[in-house]
Amino acid sequence: MEKLSRGRLLSLERYAAERAAFRARVMAHKRSRRVALGAHATLLFEDFLTMQYQVQEMLRAERIFEANEIQAELDAYNPLIPDGGNWKATLLIEYQDVDERRQALARMAGIEHRVWARIGDFDRVFALANEDMERSNEEKTAAVHFLRFEWTPPAIAALCAGAALKMGIDHAALPYEVAVGANIREALAKDFD
């Protein structure tokens, strides 16, 4: 899969002019890349477009225009783009109430290592979590984690041929399993191109 480069980014001026339309396109795109794992956890599967949007927003917010600073953003976000044999996802643990969130995160230490996906009759694949830095300890977990799901060629072929896809969490504090809809399954199959 293609990675971001400076040549694929819009200048700050051009991005300002096109931001509303670009943002609408990305938000529509994300709808077919979002999997709810119950009421309090969501997986957002990243790709080139979602990361382009993230980088453009960072450059805009921070008013970054120096080549070395742009490259630093690209270096930070390119690892979140799938490599053709995997999926990259952001796990969001969401509670509106601050106290409820703090208490819940204290019960969920290690949850990021218990998120799984299953293609057809293949074994569940547990995500590799936070390869850039640890975001959990024995006392609590963070509300945001970065995950990678690695797939074998037979599992990829099965998904691309229409095999069912399930995802879930195997953690006592937030157990959940869901059958993923066809529109999301098809969007994720494109990450293997």
Mean pLDDT by 10 residues, the chain (193 residues): 91 95 97 96 97 96 92 93 96 95 93 97 95 72 94 97 97 96 96 90
In whole angstroms, give the CA distance from residue 128 to residue 130. Answer: 7
DSSP state of 68: H
At 113 the pLDDT is: 94
In whole angstroms, give the CA distance from residue 48 to residue 101. Answer: 31
User: Could you tell me which residues come within 8 angstroms of residue 52 by beta carbon, excluding any fewer than 6 positions away?
Assistant: 4, 8, 9
What's the pLDDT tens digit per position in 58-75?
A: 999 999 989 999 999 999
What's the pLDDT tens digit per position in 22-58?
A: 999 999 999 999 999 999 999 999 999 999 999 999 9
At 135 the pLDDT is: 67
Unique residue bearing structure tokens 């120096």: 66
Q: Give the Cβ contact number of residue 5 at 10 Å.
A: 11
Distances (CA, A) of 43 to 6, 92, 132, 149, 169: 28, 6, 18, 12, 11
- Which token pair is 165? 């896809």
Domain ranges (residues) in the chain: 6-192
At 133 the pLDDT is: 64
- Which token pair is 17? 């002019």
